[in-house]
């Protein structure tokens, strides 16, 4: 079988490449050994956000008193909640289905692919020769060799959403975004939850902003244990115990391993294609080419940021390079990220610490509180703030913690992508009352000292007023 483009993996990045290339006239073959839609649709973004949405409804029932509505403790049917999760997946699945992509002209082979040469891959009994190949195989849950872990039942994001019985006490190894999202979801659905983190929970994020999230989770009943590295796991189904290196022990009914994800490169036969790896991930250049210049790699397999939207973005870069021969290069300084706890935590560009290290005294930092936003007050969602790092009137990084932070960060991702100035954002007209006014107000705050605390501005204003008729 011969084709212009062979895509390995039908997750976000692979589907973006396959759909775009096929609709532009290329002959495309797509390989997928698992479910169409990959991790994001089946075991990641979609099910986790559906579960969080159900948990949020339960929490709203508990917190209705502030609106003059009698609060009640919700009666949670965990199996029905998981039915909602499954329905969300099923509703989106047709968009990523084999039938849809075959309708676009893509040849879909549901089998594992393995390189047999620099330009050939064997899959499902077929030998495929391609002019260009894109590896978009994704990642799998990282399960470290903790003594005893292999002898007890444990969950990962790939198995959690098949649960039909609510965990009585969920132990979570890992205090990153996945761990914290699932911690809050389950405590709101009625489980006891203990998070065990080797270092600092939400350690990749601005500590000041992450504190708001951790404070809320603890207030809701999540036990967050930091600086506790798991040393041993023991027990059986329904009674699992985690011992940490400092001698502490934590018991629970279920264990979720949320310690990150590893690039899924095993079994691809990369050596046959002359493709080199680095630290367990495929090495790529800025054009996303591997050491085999006819093979590209995108998304999680490259070992970088593991986001669905990043894989889709990189897919667009590859289409320009593979189909049109354009020297398109990927950049990651404008790629946003979000953790969908309540409050949400979102970021793009440099953190405050990174910005200070890079720009020193040239850096300006402005913040704006949700408490000063009328929509936040009206909806009783005043916990949170936006922090903007700027140099020479241009944003270099933005962090938002609070309601809808994942939505609000989009404006700043655009600003960093297009090199917009804070004046551009300050000049935007946002509808009132919206949380979107926070960004405009933060940008305006940057200029306030220059306008309102400047003696020369005041003198000019007084002089002009004397001259005006």
Domain range annotation of the chain: 2-36+97-141+262-324, 149-259, 337-452
Give the pLDDT score at 164.
Answer: 95
Predicted TM-score of the model (pTM): 0.94
The string of pLDDT tens digits covering residues 172-229 is: 999 999 999 999 999 999 999 999 999 999 999 999 999 999 999 999 999 999 999 9
HEC assignment per residue over the chain: CEEEEEEECCCHHHHHHHHHHHHCCCCEEEECCCCCCHHHHHCCHHHHHHHHHHHHHHHHHHCHHHHCCCCCCCCCCHHHHHHHHHHHHHHHHHHHCHHHHHHCCCEEECCCEEECCCCEEEECCEEEEEEEEEECCCEEECCCCCCCHHHCCCECHHHHCCCCCCCCEEEEECCCHHHHHHHHHHHHCCCEEEEECCCCCCCCCCHHHHHHHHHHHHHCCCEEECCCCEEEEEEECCEEEEEECCCCEEEECEEEECCCEEECCCCCCHHHHCCCEECCEECCCCCCECCCCCEEECHHHHCCCCCHHHHHHHHHHHHHHHHHCCCCCCCCCCCCEEECCCCEEEEEECCHHHHHHHHHHHEEEEEEEHHHCHHHHHCCCCCCEEEEEEECCEEEEEEEEECCHHHHHHHHHHHHHHCCCHHHHHCCCCCCCCCCHHHHHHHHHHHHHHHHCCHHHHHHHHHHHHHCC
Segment 118-133 mean pLDDT: 96
Percent of the chain with pLDDT over 70: 98
- Supply the mean pLDDT for the chain: 96
Give the pLDDT score at 467.
Answer: 85
Superfamily of domain 149-259: FAD/NAD(P)-binding domain (3.50.50.60)
Give the pLDDT score at 451.
Answer: 61
Give the pLDDT score at 250.
Answer: 98
Judged against a pLDDT cut of 90, whether residue 452 lies above it is answered with no
Give the pLDDT score at 215.
Answer: 98
Segment 128-153 mean pLDDT: 97
Residue 453 pLDDT class (50, 70, 90 cuts):
low
The string of pLDDT tens digits covering residues 53-66 is: 999 999 999 999 99
Judged against a pLDDT cut of 90, whether residue 49 lies above it is answered with yes
Give the pLDDT score at 444.
Answer: 92
Judged against a pLDDT cut of 90, whether residue 456 lies above it is answered with no
Segment 336-343 mean pLDDT: 98
Same fold, 2-36+97-141+262-324 and 149-259: yes
As assigned by CATH, the class of the 2-36+97-141+262-324 domain is alpha beta
Give the pLDDT score at 469.
Answer: 80
The CATH number of the structural domain formed by 337-452 is 3.30.390.30
Judged against a pLDDT cut of 80, whether residue 424 lies above it is answered with yes
CA dihedral of 221, 341, 90, 266, whole degrees rounded to 10: -100
Segment 158-174 mean pLDDT: 97
Output 440 or 455, whichever has higher pLDDT: 440
Nearest to 232 by CA among 149, 142, 141: 149
């Amino acid at each position: 079988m011969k084709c212009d483009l062979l895509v390995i993996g039908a997750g976000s990045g692979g589907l973006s490449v396959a759909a775009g290339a096929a609709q532009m006239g290329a002959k495309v073959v797509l390989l997928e050994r698992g479910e169409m839609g990959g991790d994001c649709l089946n075991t990641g973004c979609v099910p986790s956000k559906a579960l969080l949405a159900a948990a949020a409804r339960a929490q709203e029932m508990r917190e209705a008193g502030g609106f003059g509505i009698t609060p009640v403790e919700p009666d949670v049917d965990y199996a029905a909640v998981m039915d909602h999760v499954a329905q969300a997946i099923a509703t989106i699945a047709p968009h990523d289905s084999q039938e849809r992509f075959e309708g676009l002209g893509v040849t879909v082979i549901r089998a594992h692919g393995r390189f047999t040469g620099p330009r050939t891959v064997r899959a499902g009994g077929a030998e495929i020769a391609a002019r260009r190949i894109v590896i978009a195989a994704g990642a799998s849950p990282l399960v470290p060799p903790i003594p005893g872990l292999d002898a007890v039942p444990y969950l990962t994001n790939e198995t959690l959403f098949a649960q039909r019985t609510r965990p009585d006490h969920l132990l979570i190894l890992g205090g990153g975004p996945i761990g914290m999202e699932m911690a809050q979801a389950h405590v709101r659905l009625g489980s006891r939850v203990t998070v065990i983190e080797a270092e600092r929970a939400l350690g990749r994020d601005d500590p000041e902003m992450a504190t708001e999230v951790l404070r809320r989770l603890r207030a809701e009943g999540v036990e967050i244990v930091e600086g506790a590295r798991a040393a041993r796991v023991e027990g059986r189904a329904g009674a699992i115990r985690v011992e940490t290196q400092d001698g502490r022990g934590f018991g629970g009914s279920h264990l979720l391993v949320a310690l990150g994800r590893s690039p899924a490169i095993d079994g691809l036969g990369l050596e046959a294609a002359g493709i080199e790896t680095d630290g367990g991930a495929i090495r790529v250049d800025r054009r996303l080419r591997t050491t085999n210049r006819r093979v590209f790699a995108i998304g999680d397999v490259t070992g970088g940021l593991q986001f669905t939207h990043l894989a889709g973005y990189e897919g667009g870069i590859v289409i320009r390079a593979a189909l049109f021969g354009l020297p398109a290069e990927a950049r990651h300084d404008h790629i946003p990220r979000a953790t969908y706890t309540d409050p949400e935590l979102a970021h793009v560009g440099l953190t405050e610490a990174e910005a200070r290290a890079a720009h020193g005294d040239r850096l300006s930092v402005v913040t704006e509180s949700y408490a000063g936003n009328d929509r936040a007050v009206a909806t009783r969602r005043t916990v949170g703030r936006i922090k903007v790092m700027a140099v020479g009137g241009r944003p270099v990084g933005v962090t938002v913690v609070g309601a809808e932070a994942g939505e609000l960060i989009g404006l700043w991702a655009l600003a960093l992508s297009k090199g917009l100035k804070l004046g551009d954002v300050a000049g935007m007209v946002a509808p009132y009352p919206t949380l979107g006014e926070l960004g405009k107000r933060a940008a305006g705050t940057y200029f306030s000292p220059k306008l309102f605390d400047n003696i020369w501005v005041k003198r000019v204003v007084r002089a002009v007023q004397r001259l005006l008729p």
